[in-house]
Structure 1
Amino acid sequence: MKTKALTLGLLIASSFLICSQAAAQKIEYPPEEFTARRQALCSSLGNQGFVLMFGKTVVPAGIRFRQDNDFYYLTGNEDLNAIMFMDASACAATLFLPAQTEREASRDGWNLLYQEGGAEAHGYAAVHPLTHLQEFLARNRNGGEQTLYTRLSESTEVDQSRTDMAIFTARRMANPFGAFPSEDAWRVQTLQERFPYYDLKDITPHIDPLRMIKTPREIEALKRNGWVSAEAHIRAIGVTRVGGWEYEIEAEATHTMLEYGAEGAGYPAIVGAGPNSNIWHYQDSDRQLQDGDIIVMDYGADMGYLTMDITRTWPASGEFTDLQERAYRCTLEAEKAVIAAMRPGVTRQETQAIAAEIFQRWGFTDQYPGGAGHFVGMSVHDVGDYALPLQAGMVIAVEPIIDIPEEDLHIRIEDTVLVTEDGPVILSAHVPKELDEVLALVGRGIKEQRRN
């Protein structure tokens, strides 16, 4: 795949992030961002050992290519079948890329092998053909024990955590005709067979803490994504009408994300109306909206290899019933209280107790008050240590839920929150959640079109 151009002057200004004038501009990072990440990894390793990281090997069917998260985090490279070797003692990274024919390059563009000065410009010690890798590994053998760090844990995808990937792999293994090893497992086995003198260790315990705390450039990119994803929700609420369709709401949101520079969605859109709202990960988007339906939309963009997680709930008619309104006010109060408490040093258990007390006071003791939830980043359910107290630079979703299937009632309000020394920053704050403000948005886009 074509290597994305990494322009040097691309630290995104905050004013750029939240204004509509930047509608078509994509998020990219300069090479020094990835150099700094590699240096942080080398420090975590005590500047000892080697690191071997692999890019993706297969083009996805029918959607835009997205590089392996861990590989992209350290390299910024988007070539298929790319591999990085790094000597942690000098923090010198070498990239191995496939040789290309002119026909291949005419389809995908020339990779860094064919760009004069490309290695130096992108912070690499060298760029070599992929066919040189095995001899390169053999030549780096020294006397005594040598540590080679690679990924022994599961990968992550844009919408799947390492745990998700492990669970899905285990389910596949239950199929007697699907019980083949994962690509990472096959790589580990092959490395052990061909290079037995290397002591293989898992790199993810060193990468995950880095991914958990966002860099300044990542924070600026997340702020922009937060605004874009929130605008998508605003416009989706605005096209809601009784008699409309779930897929129309999804289409409006998707259009808005792409209009403002998103590469795609962070996960399949969840747009559930009426009884579909009680299917937490519903994806069909095929129901016609009825009077009395609640609509739950859980959706966020993927921009610059960073995701966003937002949920809003609203009535198709523009009016809640008494029970719906009561559930909404309880959920909103809990969400706001949890977010207000999200400061460095606070534990997840403390935020959970805050939400639980509010749900109990409202009489929804058998529901899902939550607290500070999952990490958000390169994956919507991102890597991180849930046992740690909150730290500045963490990005976390908050989503209390009330779900009463017998009433076709599901209230979910979710925002993505950045923890800072000065208090929480709601990255998705652009989309309203106060009850009166949300109700005022319902059908607004349709009304404006009719006036025009």
Structure 2
Amino acid sequence: MIKHTLLSVNDFRLRREKLFASLPDNSIAVFAANNEVTRSNDTEYLFCQDKNFYYLTGFNEPDALLVMVKSAQNSCYLFCREKDELQEVWHGRRIGQENAKADYGFDHAYTLADIEQMLPELINGKAALYYLQGANPSLDLQVASWLKQVKAGSRTGNKAPQTLVDAKPLLDDMRLFKSENELTIMRQVNVISGGAHQRAMEKSAVGKFEYQIEAEILHEFARHGARFAAYNSIVAGGDNANILHYTDNCEVLADNDLLLIDAGGELAGYAADITRTFPINGKFTDAQKAIYQLVLDSQIAAIEAIKPGCNFAHLNTLVGEILTTGLYDLGILQGDLAELINENACKKYFIHGLGHWLGLDVHDVGDYQANDKREQLRAFETGMVMTIEPGIYIPATDESVDAKWRGIGVRIEDNIAVTDQGHENLTVNAPKSVHDIEALMARS
């Protein structure tokens, strides 16, 4: 069992202080928590907090509101559910206003019923209002209502903000760079998730259902403290691997097929995102091994190139050349090799991006600085975390290739942090070489 690192109240306070430093004087910023979502009739989905709200507060109750007032003395207000013995008996304990201040470091805490009176008062006289525009339709409507109330009092001296600003760019850039405490959590959730991929390899067998392997993965997450999956797990046997976001996970595992698993746990809000592909019967066929090794070679080359100053555009060029050359050598792509490389012909079979930012969200926030050619030019910097996930997908219906290649889908994905010296692969315990996979499965 891993002894988990959790973020402290001070971690969240420092984030608010950093955001305050980016706000102009005499401004106000408003951030809303998520609401509970009905699953059916009187049952709800398990609650998942809005990631931006969580990033700034660490507060994990629905319906709350964070208000940050930038002035000579910066102040943070939290509006949240009040203590209620009857509701707590039925639905669980609430933090309440006193604990919100004592345990979460807010300057002021009020009930949800106080919002409609206090927000127009807090907004009045501010030069600028920051919020996540368009992210929460309910908040958009509330902001419009509050502004209307302030403007209605203009004859008595009320003054509404002249500037409404989307806070997303500020928070996106903050979240893109992980602190050492965040990296520690992401290392831990990678170890948990890597163990789950090991378990999947050990438990896979011809005749089992994909969902049975998914259950083994979720079991491994939970027993090591990652109670939730970071996203719906993809457990795709055979040709199902050629459906990129396959989550039905309902078919029987067949002999001589590969099993592609894209699954990661969530720990303290932070996601792992790992993909492994392996033979269900424990032994790669020659064709499977050839495709698999090509994908692995391209992934290793991309990871080795990661360092400050590099970018996704460079990695895409590198991987594109390796995959195109490899597919040409295997006879899957035909023509003039130089022309194929120039045309990035591998994209016929490598149909998604090479990677994405990773953090509180699986596809985490952060600008890639793509140009009009969709080249992602943002230079990597220390503290960024990304996935690297090349793949080759040859549908069973592709009659342009030899039958031995049809139905093979391979993706290999690790989580990489940029360091001062280069990079750190956080995905340390999920086997990915042909030898290591076959050796593990032979022992199970």
Structures share a fold, TM > 0.5? Answer: yes
Q: In 1, are the aligned partners of 2:4 and 2:188 still within 8 Å (CA)? A: no
Q: In 1, are the aligned partners of 2:120 and 2:149 still within 8 Å (CA)? A: no
Task: Please identify, of 410-419 and 90-99, the stretch whose mean Cα deviation from structure 2 is larger.
Answer: 90-99
Corresponding residue for residue 299 of structure 1: 263
- Rounded to whole Å, the distance in 2 between the matches of 1:373 and 1:48 is 40
User: Is there any run of 5+ residues in structure 1 with no aligned partner, and where?
Assistant: 1-20, 156-181, 448-452
Corresponding residue for residue 40 of structure 1: 18
Post-superposition Cα deviations, 1:189-227, rounded to whole Å, max 9, x if no partner, equal 334433441332111111110111111211110000010
The 3-state SS of whatever aligns with 1:232 is: helix
Corresponding residue for residue 134 of structure 1: 116
Corresponding residue for residue 237 of structure 1: 201
- Matching residue within 239, 244, 257 for 2:221: 257
Alpha-carbon deviation of 1:63? 4.1
The 3-state SS of whatever aligns with 1:127 is: strand
- Rounded to whole Å, the distance in 2 between the matches of 1:129 and 1:184 is 17
Q: In 1, are the aligned partners of 2:276 and 2:432 still within 8 Å (CA)? A: yes
* Structure with the greater alpha carbon radius of gyration: 2
- Matching residue within 52, 76, 86 for 2:30: 52
Post-superposition Cα deviations, 1:366-390, rounded to whole Å, max 9, x if no partner, equal 3328775211111100101112211
- Rounded to whole Å, the distance in 2 between the matches of 1:136 and 1:252 is 50
Corresponding residue for residue 125 of structure 1: 107
Post-superposition Cα deviations, 1:51-89, rounded to whole Å, max 9, x if no partner, equal 111112224535432211111110111122111111123
Corresponding residue for residue 94 of structure 2: 110
- Rounded to whole Å, the distance in 2 between the matches of 1:75 and 1:266 is 20
Equivalent residues in 2 for 1:161-200, closer than 5 Å: 182-196=137-151, 197-198=160-161, 199-200=163-164
Corresponding residue for residue 363 of structure 1: 327
Superposition CA RMSD, Å: 2.0
Task: Please identify, of 183-192 and 87-96, the stretch whose mean Cα deviation from structure 2 is larger.
Answer: 183-192
- Matching residue within 366, 375, 382 for 1:392: 382
Q: In 2, are the aligned partners of 1:372 and 1:396 still within 8 Å (CA)? A: no
User: Is there any run of 5+ residues in structure 2 with no aligned partner, and where?
Assistant: 152-159, 329-345, 370-377, 397-405
Q: Which amino acid aligns with 2:149?
A: R
The 3-state SS of whatever aligns with 1:363 is: helix
Corresponding residue for residue 237 of structure 2: 273
Corresponding residue for residue 165 of structure 1: none
Alpha-carbon deviation of 1:301? 0.6
Q: In 1, are the aligned partners of 2:385 and 2:418 still within 8 Å (CA)? A: yes
Q: Which amino acid aligns with 1:211?
A: R
Task: Please identify, of 145-154 and 192-201, the stretch whose mean Cα deviation from structure 2 is larger.
Answer: 192-201
Summarize the Cα distance change of 1:35–1:383 in structure 2 as closer, same or farther, 3 Å threshold: same
The 3-state SS of whatever aligns with 2:165 is: strand
Corresponding residue for residue 79 of structure 1: 61
Q: Which amino acid aligns with 1:415?
A: D
- Rounded to whole Å, the distance in 1 between the matches of 2:418 and 2:58 is 25
Equivalent residues in 2 for 1:2-21, closer than 5 Å: 21=1
Alpha-carbon deviation of 1:184? 4.1
Q: In 1, are the aligned partners of 2:263 and 2:275 still within 8 Å (CA)? A: yes
Post-superposition Cα deviations, 1:331-368, rounded to whole Å, max 9, x if no partner, equal 00110111111111112111111101111221253332
Alpha-carbon deviation of 1:274? 1.1
Corresponding residue for residue 149 of structure 1: 130
- Rounded to whole Å, the distance in 1 between the matches of 2:298 and 2:354 is 11
Q: In 1, are the aligned partners of 2:5 and 2:184 still within 8 Å (CA)? A: no
- Rounded to whole Å, the distance in 2 between the matches of 1:48 and 1:368 is 50
Alpha-carbon deviation of 1:134? 2.9
Report the identity percentage: 31
**Could you state the TM-score of these two structures normalised by the residue count of structure 2?**
0.84
**Could you state the TM-score of these two structures normalised by the residue count of structure 1?**
0.82
Q: Which amino acid aligns with 1:136?
A: M
Alpha-carbon deviation of 1:133? 2.3
Summarize the Cα distance change of 1:220–1:301 in structure 2 as closer, same or farther, 3 Å threshold: same
Alpha-carbon deviation of 1:292? 1.2
- Rounded to whole Å, the distance in 2 between the matches of 1:320 and 1:382 is 34
Aligned residues: 394
Q: In 1, are the aligned partners of 2:123 and 2:129 still within 8 Å (CA)? A: no
Post-superposition Cα deviations, 1:270-305, rounded to whole Å, max 9, x if no partner, equal 001012111111111111111111100000011111
Equivalent residues in 2 for 1:207-222, closer than 5 Å: 207-222=171-186
